[in-house]
């Protein structure tokens, strides 16, 4: 290249340098996207493993219940304990799944989410059945939510339920269903309980449409437990 | 849709950063070898447009008198653009008390009968200028004694229209100044790089030296412009004149010391930038202006756009909104932080972090830090504890402040606020 006069005005457009800059930018982006894809794969695997484990746990519980149904002397404690623990784990995994879905391509997760939704319903049915075989004071809450941004209160309701779970511990079972999810069973439940607005709760058999505050829920639950069961109920 | 826009902006920003980095890596960042200092030094006109500068004017004038330059070759023009404070008395007093020091120096003191603006004040000076070179000096800036002699040799080539010194802050004692300290270093370092590509789009006021004949040829300063220094640079570029940014010629300046003053100054600068870019829109993507038209001008506009939308999208979508939603959620459980943090910790899993976002943030952070390190190195600024503080402020807080200024500009323009320009 000829020596440039440093005082003349250079009106060249350096195609080579711009090309290189573009290439490097693309490489940076490719690395980022690769990381994103790998992360997505890992998360898929993780949530899939978690739900597979839950399904095996479910089968085990179902078997326990079947066995107990025919027994004269029933020892229900083991069954109720692991039922509660599994439902709690399932809820935690579901929350993780929702978070992952918020941050990536939803398509890949849809099949897994369907598994989660079905498992939630399965456990709910199992819990109802268990109530017949092993009567207890455990309460069930069915939580209908939307992932859509327009449902501001869905997340607030989720927080309230977490708060209640913290108070009532293993005496409370929470089952969450995404109403917008394309699963016929969810639609059947929705119609059955006449759910039209979201969030909505079904506590035992009573429907609470819209955002239900923690005070109202504590009242309702205390009523079903009997007033002396928890410190929060006597105040 | 919003996410797509953020990614596009990220891509563009990364591209700019990579390109400038390539320029730095390929070229040695140093001042061009100047021509020789001519045996007979040229007569230099130093023009001081003054408007209500009673506080700093004397120090500025003293720095001019301390210049290492033959007295007979200096021509100083003070243009008081109808100050309303005690500036006229300060000037009179200075001329009286420094009569001995001013001996042999040709000095003219002029006063506008009405306030006309900085561009007009400069033109008044230009009309009376006798010097071969015409130097603007804002009355809030101070020149180092050797500056002029360093700058003169660069005018040996006829095509050179303007030579610019490196500008630093005079003091860094307040938060607002901390915010600007690194900004000045980074911006002037960037301007040096731009200078090497003939892409300078602003010739800022403090001690910008021009060739008088070229100034007159292109018609003097714009009088109805918010940022006449930016307009002048664009005009010189349009006529394919050379503008050189130096690193070893130095001036210091007083930056705004209150948030409000800073905000007003930036509002004017950026509004001026937008308006002048509009004035010179024909240079955009004009192939005959090479890098300046195809890259630099679109980049300036692109940076403004990124800054404007950065505020709207990123701050709202990823910071304010999630925060407000969280507060909303928490309000229903009596702000039970213990519960929420326990839940969070018990659910914590290494897959929860979004490593892709982390990677892109690190890349952006790396570029930012790289710029700052380069800027410190080439402006020969010592790295002190306060410099590190400023750098951190610059990287974390500054972008938000900048977007706020840009938003104020957009809002002003949208509601058609009257602006002198």
pLDDT of residue B347: 82
Give which of A5, A109, A159 to mutate to test B binding, by max B Cβ within 10 Å: A159
Is residue B210 pLDDT above 60, yes or no? yes
Out of A6, A11, A28, the one facing B290 most closely (by C-beta) is A11
Categorize the per-residue pLDDT at A1 as very low, low, confident or very high, splitting at 50, 70 and 90. very low
pLDDT of residue B419: 57
**CA A56 to centroid of chain Cα atoms:** 19
**pLDDT-wise least confident of A217-231, B157-171, B205-219, B272-286:** A217-231
> pLDDT tens for residues A133-160?
888 889 999 999 998 888 889 999 999 9
Measure in Å the smallest separation between the Cα of B391 and chain A Cα atoms: 25
Out of B241, B336, B349, the one facing A9 most closely (by C-beta) is B241
Cβ–Cβ contact A35 with B under 8 A = yes
Which of A:80-99 have CB within 8 Å of B? 92, 95-96, 99
Which of A:165-184 have CB within 8 Å of B? 166
Which residues in chain A have their CB less than 8 angstroms from residue B18's CB? 21, 24-25, 28
Range of the domain at B399: 1-421
Which of B:136-155 have CB within 8 Å of A? 154
Measure in Å the smallest separation between the Cα of A156 and chain B Cα atoms: 4
> pLDDT tens for residues A102-134?
877 667 788 899 999 999 999 999 999 998 888
Is residue A226 pLDDT above 80, yes or no? no
E strand spans, B212-348: 242-253
pLDDT of residue A70: 82
pLDDT of residue A2: 42
- Helix, strand, coil distribution of chain B in percent, nearest 5: 60, 15, 30
CA–CA–CA angle A9, A10, A16 (5° rounding): 170
Is residue B6 pLDDT above 90, yes or no? no
**What pTM does this model have?**
0.84
Is residue B314 pLDDT above 90, yes or no? no
- As a whole number, mean pLDDT of residues A67-92 equals 89
H/E segment holding residue B202: none
pLDDT of residue B224: 87
Count of CB atoms situated within 10 Å of the CB of A111: 10
pLDDT of residue B179: 84
| A-chain residue closest to B236, CA distance | A9
**Which are the contacts of A223, defined by CB distance < 8 A and separation ≥ 6?**
none
Is residue B400 pLDDT above 90, yes or no? no
Q: Do residues B285 and B294 touch, judged by C-beta distance below 8 A? A: yes
pLDDT of residue B44: 97
- Helix, strand, coil distribution of chain A in percent, nearest 5: 65, 10, 25
Is residue B319 pLDDT above 50, yes or no? yes
> pLDDT tens for residues B47-100?
999 999 999 999 999 999 999 999 999 999 999 999 999 999 999 999 999 998
B359 vs B35, which has greater pLDDT?
B359
H/E segment holding residue B165: strand B160-169
User: Over pLDDT 70: what percentage of chain B?
Assistant: 99
User: Over pLDDT 90: what percentage of chain B?
Assistant: 67
pLDDT of residue B336: 87
**Which are the contacts of B405, defined by CB distance < 8 A and separation ≥ 6?**
B263, B266, B267, B270
Categorize the per-residue pLDDT at A235 as very low, low, confident or very high, splitting at 50, 70 and 90. low
**Which are the contacts of A92, defined by CB distance < 8 A and separation ≥ 6?**
B346, B347
Cβ–Cβ contact B285 with A under 8 A = no
Cβ–Cβ contact B350 with A under 8 A = no
Q: Measured between alpha carbons, how far is B134 from B47 in angstroms, rounded to an integer?
A: 7
- As a whole number, mean pLDDT of residues A25-53 equals 94
Out of B33, B325, B333, the one facing A163 most closely (by C-beta) is B333
pLDDT of residue B174: 85
Average pLDDT of chain B is 91
CB contact under 8 A, B198 and A10: yes
Q: What is the ipTM of this complex?
A: 0.85
3-state secondary structure of B134: strand
Q: How many domains does chain B have?
A: 1
pLDDT of residue B76: 96
pLDDT of residue A106: 66
- As a whole number, mean pLDDT of residues A195-208 equals 92
> What CATH number corresponds to the domain at position B56?
3.90.550.10
pLDDT of residue B421: 39
Q: Do residues B372 and B394 touch, judged by C-beta distance below 8 A? A: yes
Domains defined for chain A, CATH in brackets: 22-134 (1.20.58), 137-235 (3.40.30.10)
Is residue B184 pLDDT above 50, yes or no? yes
CB contact under 8 A, B328 and A6: no
pLDDT of residue B414: 87
| A-chain residue closest to B156, CA distance | A7
CB contact under 8 A, A155 and B325: yes
């Amino acid at each position: 290249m000829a020596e440039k006069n440093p005082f003349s005005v250079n009106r060249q457009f350096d195609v080579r340098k711009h090309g290189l800059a573009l290439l490097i930018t693309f490489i940076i982006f490719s690395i980022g996207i690769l990381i994103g894809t790998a992360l997505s794969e890992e998360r898929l695997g993780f949530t899939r493993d978690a739900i597979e484990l839950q399904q095996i746990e479910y089968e085990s519980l179902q078997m326990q219940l079947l066995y107990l149904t025919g027994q004269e002397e029933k020892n229900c404690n083991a069954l109720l304990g692991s039922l509660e623990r599994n439902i709690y784990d399932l809820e935690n995994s579901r929350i993780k799944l929702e978070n992952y879905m918020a941050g990536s391509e939803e398509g890949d997760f849809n099949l897994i989410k369907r598994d989660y939704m079905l498992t939630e319903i399965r456990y709910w049915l199992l819990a109802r059945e268990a109530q017949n075989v092993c009567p207890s004071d455990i309460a069930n809450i069915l939580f209908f939510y939307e992932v859509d941004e327009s449902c501001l209160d869905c997340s607030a309701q989720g927080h309230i339920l977490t708060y209640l779970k913290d108070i009532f511990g293993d005496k409370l079972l929470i089952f969450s269903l995404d109403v917008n999810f394309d699963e016929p069973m969810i639609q059947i439940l929705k119609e059955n309980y006449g759910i039209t607005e979201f969030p909505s709760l079904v506590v035992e058999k009573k429907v609470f449409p819209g955002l239900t505050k923690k005070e109202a829920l504590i009242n309702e639950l205390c009523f079903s437990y009997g007033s002396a069961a928890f410190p929060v109920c006597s105040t | 849709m919003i996410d797509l826009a953020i990614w596009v902006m990220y891509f563009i920003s990364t591209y700019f950063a990579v390109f400038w980095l390539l320029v730095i890596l390929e070229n040695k960042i140093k001042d061009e070898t100047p021509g020789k200092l001519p045996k007979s030094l040229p007569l230099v006109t130093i023009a001081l447009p003054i408007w209500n500068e009673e506080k700093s004017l004397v120090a500025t004038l003293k720095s001019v008198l301390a210049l290492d330059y033959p007295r007979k070759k200096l021509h100083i023009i003070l243009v008081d653009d109808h100050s309303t404070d005690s500036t006229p008395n300060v000037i009179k007093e200075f001329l009286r008390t420094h009569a001995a020091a001013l001996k042999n120096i040709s000095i003219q003191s002029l006063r506008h009968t009405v306030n006309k603006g900085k561009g007009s004040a400069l033109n008044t000076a230009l009309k009376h200028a006798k010097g071969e070179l015409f130097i603007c000096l804002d009355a809030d800036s101070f020149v180092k004694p050797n500056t002029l002699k360093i700058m003169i040799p660069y005018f040996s080539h006829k095509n050179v229209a303007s030579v610019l010194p490196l500008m630093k802050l005079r003091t860094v004692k307040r938060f607002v100044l901390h915010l600007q300290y690194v900004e000045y270093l980074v911006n002037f370092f960037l301007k040096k790089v731009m200078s090497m590509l003939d892409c300078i789009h602003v010739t800022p006021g403090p001690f910008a030296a021009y060739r008088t004949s070229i100034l007159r040829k292109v018609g003097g300063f714009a009088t109805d412009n918010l940022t006449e220094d930016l307009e002048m640079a664009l005009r010189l570029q349009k006529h394919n004149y050379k503008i050189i940014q130096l690193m070893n010629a130095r001036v210091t300046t007083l930056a705004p010391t209150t948030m409000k003053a800073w905000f007003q100054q930036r509002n004017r600068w950026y509004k001026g930038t937008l308006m002048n870019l509009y004035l010179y829109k024909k240079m955009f993507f004009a192939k005959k202006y090479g890098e300046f038209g195809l890259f630099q001008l679109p980049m300036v506009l692109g940076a403004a756009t990124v800054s404007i939308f950065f505020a709207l999208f990123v701050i709202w979508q990823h910071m304010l909104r999630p925060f407000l939603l969280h507060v909303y959620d928490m309000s229903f459980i009596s702000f039970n932080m213990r519960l929420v943090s326990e839940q969070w910790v018990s659910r914590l899993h290494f897959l929860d972090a979004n490593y892709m976002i982390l990677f892109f943030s690190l890349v952006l952070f790396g570029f930012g830090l790289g710029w700052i390190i380069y800027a410190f190195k080439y402006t020969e600024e010592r790295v002190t504890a306060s410099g590190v503080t400023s750098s951190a402020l610059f990287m974390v807080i500054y972008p938000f402040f900048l977007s706020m200024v840009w938003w104020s500009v957009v809002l002003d323009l949208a509601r058609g606020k009257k602006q002198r320009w």
